[in-house]
Structure 1
Amino acid sequence: MPNVAQILKSKLDDPMAARRTAERPVLTIDAEASVFEAVKMMAQYQIGALIVTQGSEKKIAGIVTERDYARKIVLMDRSSKSTPVRDIMTAQVLHVRMSDTAEACMALMTQHRMRHLPVIDNGQLVGMVSIGDLVKTIISEQQFTIQQLEHYISGVHT
């Protein structure tokens, strides 16, 4: 089963993800920014979550997702332009390490009903793994296994 480091490396094959990674390894937004700015950034980069930072050290303060927007702005009839991200972000941020497996990430996401996991390496934010990244990885692994079994059954060995 691939680990988080391999998943992040494979994301570079996706042109949109590669462009984002070249510009910034992980997209973040300041806790004082408006929710409108956060949603605009998510739309621009076609992503579903941003890491929220705070202070001059850009310390991780939380995570804001499309789900936060839908539940805490739209459904509560608040203004996205006047509400700061800190008011709707999830402050308790679970994360994974580069050595964690896709299976461990999937278990964590399932258990906590979440779709995005920041990746921390040596105390630094180095990436983000989404449920889509994990599904893509698992499907790719299954396709490889199926190919190997088909070759084995048919007597073709590589």
Structure 2
Amino acid sequence: MKTVKNILQNKSASIYSVNPDTSVLDALQVMMDKNISALLVMEGIDLKGIFTERDYARKIILKGKSSKETKIKDAMTSDLKTVNPGTSIDLCMQIMTEKHIRHLPVKEGNQVIGMISIGDLVKFVIEDQKQTIEQLQSYISS
């Protein structure tokens, strides 16, 4: 069975986060600098939420709030779905589809060890299918 662990092995171990009192503007700067579309919101090692481009569009821009003055804690999504390294790729895709989310924090016990995106899942599935096709072609031609 293919799991989150398989994806994390091929990803950078970097975890990008801000604390709840960070301004939305500063969080957006981190997102731009790291070329990412979501940031974890952490207090020490405690996962408090996630802040995404979607949160920015819906909770800041469309409501006319100030990015400089609004804190991440007032714009983040705090009702989080998380997965662990043993969670199957299929279940991750199901969660993302049903909940209309694009990122899943990965926890081992109480500690955040990474985050996977829908892009990570799609890339993994495509690579896995490519390997299966190559194996089948090799089997057929031998």
Residue among 77, 85, 91 paired with 2:72 = 85
Amino acid at match of 2:71: P
Q: Which runs of 4+ in 1 moved over 2 A?
A: none
Query: Which residue number in structure 1 is paired with residue 15 of structure 2?
Result: 26
TM normalised by structure 2 equals 0.94
1:2 Cα shift?
A: 2.0
1:37 Cα shift?
A: 0.8
Residue among 114, 119, 135 paired with 1:132 = 119
Query: Which residue number in structure 2 is paired with residue 9 of structure 1?
Result: 9
Identity of aligned residues (%): 43
Residue among 35, 39, 47 paired with 2:24 = 35
State the distance in 1 between where 2:117 and 2:23 align.
23
CA RMSD of aligned residues (A): 1.2
1:81 Cα shift?
A: 0.6
More helix by share: 1
State the distance in 1 between where 2:46 and 2:58 align.
25
Aligned residues, how many? 142
Unaligned runs of 5+ residues in structure 1 are 12-17
Instruction: Tell me the alpha carbon deviations over residues 56-114 of structure 1, each in whole angstroms, 9 at most, x when there is no partner.
Output: x4422111101000111111221101100011111111100110111111111011000
Unaligned runs of 5+ residues in structure 2 are none
Amino acid at match of 1:52: V
State the distance in 2 between where 1:7 and 1:101 align.
10
TM normalised by structure 1 equals 0.85
